[in-house]
Structure 1
Amino acid sequence: MNKTHPIKVLLVDNHPLVLDGLRALLETYPHIAVVGVARLAREGLEIAQSTLPAVVLMDINMPQINGIEAIELFKEQLPDTRILMLSMHDSREYISTSVMHGASGYILKDVSTDEIVSAIEAVATGKTYFSSGVADVLLERRTAENALPLTTREHDVLLLIAAGNSNRDIALALGISATTVETHRKNIKKKLNITSTAGLTRYAIENGLVSQSGPDTH
């Protein structure tokens, strides 16, 4: 993330003023390169296929295909591209659904440009990011962490699962074998009485266990 190798960002929002304003602001940061703008999800996908952005900054309310539906299209065709939602909506439903579909972060449109850049930096390096207003919503129903019936290691594995990592990725991040990760995954599901990975992700979100910058894997 420097001037030699800037973070390539694609902006997708059906409001021209938002697009123009965001582009102008982000282009003042030397380590950010706006590789394209689009007013529709499919148009954004076409641009992304030729520019291969590291991060797609996308609104939710768009005609034809909304931002949440578009997340899956981007993830299917450009699995290495990270999706960061930029929305005026701070409802738990929008936030949780975005993450369930594969978004790496969710920030509100009233945050500062510096925070938008921080979010781009975070998701570009494989972390998750939620702006303070979003974090407040996620924490509304947070259960006390010490009441969670998981070991410290299982807790770490759960956070990495919620961030969309595979067993192999988790194994590399935690310095354990993929077989051990799978054992932890099964134990977590059993303890929480949850049968699917999507269910584990939803649990982590609804209990406020997904932090702004994601789990520390270093």
Structure 2
Amino acid sequence: MNGPDAAEPPIRLLIADDHPVVRNGLRGAFADDPGITVVGEASDGRQAVARAVRGDVDVVLMDLRMPVLDGVEATAQLRERAPDVRVLVLTTFDGETDVLPAVAAGATGYLLKDAGTDELAAAVRAARRGEAVLAPAAAGHLMGQVRRPAPPVLTARELEVLALVAGGTSNREAARSLFISEASVKTHLLHVYGKLGVRDRAAAVGEAYRRGLLPATPP
């Protein structure tokens, strides 16, 4: 690997993945690079956001499929709460469908987990400079999604909340059903309203059916 410019401090990297083996492997990949310092790890999206907003992270390597808060939603929150932090999505890309949502949420780049050490290091440096990074294998899939009219980017949790609301469930009942707080349900609904361009529950449900985001026709 090429060393960093002596005038520049090391890039501070956060690794977010729910598999310890993957995190350890990624940490090891940067162990001999003086230009990149792994400053922390996170095992879910919520931890990643909390760690990154502290102000000592430059780039996040973000897995998409994580518990508590997925990589797309975590990326969207970082764009709002820590806009200077760059996010590189890292995935196996085994039939992955979240390429476009991740980019739309604010990801700077998209890499595969089998990328080589040099490729990873180069991508982290490019992301820190604000340059777009896209694995060749993901490029064709991304173009395929771009060519189709893209629906609003709703996370899996937002869709779950929306489906319960469409069935007449109250916020409290939805919270119990999903094992989350009522405040979290309200937050997810506010995100849905913003993404669909509506102001209330009824309008959100109607717009979701109109756009095909919910599987069945309303009663």
TM-score, normalised on structure 2? Answer: 0.60
Find the residue that maps to 1:93 and give its secondary structure: coil
Structure 1 position 46, deviation (Å) = 2.0
Residue 66 (1) aligns with residue 67 (2) = no
Query: Which segments of 5 or more consecutive residues in structure 1 lack a partner in the other structure?
Result: 144-218
Map of 2:160 onto structure 1 = none
Where 2:98 maps in the other structure, the secondary structure is helix
Any idea what the Cα deviations from partners look like across 1:16-61, whole Å, max 9, x if unmatched?
0000110011121110011101101121222222353111101001
Q: In 1, distance between residues paired with 2:65 and 2:72?
A: 9
Compute the TM-score of the two structures, normalised by the length of structure 1.
Answer: 0.60
Identity of aligned residues (%): 36
Aligned mate of 2:83, from 79, 87, 106: 79
Q: Which structure's relative contact order is higher, taking Cα pairs within 8 Å and 6+ residues apart?
A: 1
Asked if residue 28 in structure 1 is aligned to residue 21 in structure 2, the reply is: no
The structure whose Rg is larger is: 2
Deviations 1:109-152 (A, max 9, x none): 11111111111111110110001211243356899xxxxxxxxx
Which among 44, 47, 69 is matched to residue 48 of structure 2?
44
Code of the aligned partner of 1:81: V
Match of 2:217 in 1: none
Could you list the per-position Cα deviations for residues 153-183 of structure 1 after superposition, in whole angstroms to 9, with x for gaps in the alignment?
xxxxxxxxxxxxxxxxxxxxxxxxxxxxxxx
1:113 is aligned to 117
Amino acid at match of 2:64: I
Count of equivalent residues: 143
8 Å CA contact 2:93, 2:138 repeated in 1: no
Determine if contact 1:84/1:106 at 8 Å carries over to the other structure.
Answer: yes
Q: Supply the distance in 2 between the matched residues of 1:142 and 1:41 (Cα, whole angstroms).
A: 26
2:138 to 120, 134, 139: 134
Partner residue of 1:97 out of 101, 108, 112: 101
Moved over 3 A (4+): 1-4, 90-93, 138-143
Distance 1:23 1:51, change over 3 A: farther
Matches of 1:91 and 1:51, distance apart in 2: 34
Residues 142/62 of structure 1: CA separation in 2 closer, same or farther (3 Å cut): closer
**Unmatched runs of 5 consecutive residues or more in structure 2:** 148-219
Q: Does 1:56 align with 2:84?
A: no
- What is the root-mean-square deviation of aligned Cα atoms in Å? 2.0
The one-letter code of the counterpart of 1:69 is E
Q: Which amino acid aligns with 2:70?
A: N
CA spacing shift, 1:121–1:90, aligned 2, 3 Å: farther
Aligned equivalent of 1:2, options 5, 14, 18? 5
1:40, 1:137 → 2: CA distance? 26
Residue 106 of structure 1 aligns to a residue whose secondary structure is: strand
Checking the alignment, whether the CA contact within 8 Å between 1:7 and 1:124 is kept in structure 2 is: yes
